Structure 1
Amino acid sequence: MKHFLVFAMILMSPSAFGSEAFCDTGRAHSIDIQFDRDMDMSGGVTASMRDAQGRAHEGWDGELNREYSELMSLLSAEEKSSLREAQRAWLAFVDAETKFWWSESISDRGTLSPIIVADRGLSLLRDRVCQLARYKRIVSP
């Protein structure tokens, strides 16, 4: 029962609904919109849901790399070093967080575990893209 509740909470999380405004823009991001469509079309089939999550992950990973590169181009050498260090720490956090989410206490390692863990990963990735975009707005000339 607790795993059903965890799954229900994830489905109700902001990352699960692409129609939510992204990162202070007042509009949904195209990746979220497509993810919403893909999840709707999945019909609740785990493999189709995982495919949708994979496509969304690829999209957000591309956005992360773009935001990171654009931000790096605006920074001094010292600031670049700090951002690089922060990004490496964030990547280590994501790895540790994912490992924790795979634990039996959280995911139960049941058939929904890949969906639950991937959704958490998407949320972390999407949030980091937003953080980098905000930093970029702060330092942009």
Structure 2
Amino acid sequence: MKKLLVMISLLLPASGLAANNVIDNELASCLNRNSSTVGMAQCYDAAMQSWDQEMNRQYSAVMKKLNNQQKAKLRDAQRNWLKYRDSWLEAAQAWYLAEQGTLAGLSTAAQAVQLVKGQALMLKSLNQGSCANPDDCQ
């Protein structure tokens, strides 16, 4: 169990962002309440759904601000990102299955959360217009 907790803590963000984000706070709280594999998987699934909703919200908000050419570029980029996400998770799952066995699902779920969170934050930075200020990217 200690190995699992260490592994999960490495996959969670090390920055102060987690302390300031509702979704991350809910995930951390959920993981603290659930020590079973099934319970932790449900925590990651809930966080994934929340970050996915936030990503879609940010995408929609950015699209409203763009002209047609910019919209086409962002749409293509988002579609390519979705392919990348799926491809990365397939590769990670294959590696984790070979290296970790039953923990593979949790490891992949934690990575999925981080991938979608990252994309949501990138879209948010576009929506806000800049990443010059580090707070704009969080």
Category of TM-score, reference length = shorter chain: 0.7 to 0.9
Counterpart check, 1:127 vs 2:110: no
Contact kept in structure 2, 1:72 and 1:80, CA below 8 Å: yes
Answering whether residue 4 of structure 2 is matched by residue 13 of structure 1, we say no
Q: Which residue of 1 aligns with 2:102?
A: 111
1:1-141 paired onto structure 2 within 5 Å: 8-15=6-13, 20-21=16-17, 28-42=20-34, 44-103=35-94, 105-108=95-98, 110-138=101-129
Question: Which structure 2 residue ranges, 5 or more long, are not aligned?
Answer: 131-138
Residue 12 of structure 1: how far off its partner (Å): 2.0
Identical pairs, percent: 26
**2:10 partner amino acid:** M
Residue type of the alignment partner of 1:56: A
TM-score, L = length of structure 1: 0.81
Question: Paired residues, what number?
Answer: 127
CA separation of 1:20/1:13 partners in 2, compared to 1, >3 Å: closer, same or farther?
A: farther
Q: Report deviation, 1:138.
A: 1.0
Q: Can you give the 5+ residue segments of structure 1 that lack an aligned partner in the other structure?
A: none
Instruction: Compute the displacement of 1:9 (Å).
Output: 4.5
Q: CA deviation at 1:34?
A: 0.5
Does structure 2 retain, via aligned residues, the 8 Å contact 1:60–1:129? Answer: yes
Cα separation, 2, equivalents of 1:107 and 1:11: 19
**Mapped contact 2:11–2:111 kept (Cα < 8 A):** no
Q: What do you get for the CA RMSD once the two structures are aligned?
A: 2.1
Alpha-carbon contact 2:51-2:116 (below 8 Å) kept: yes
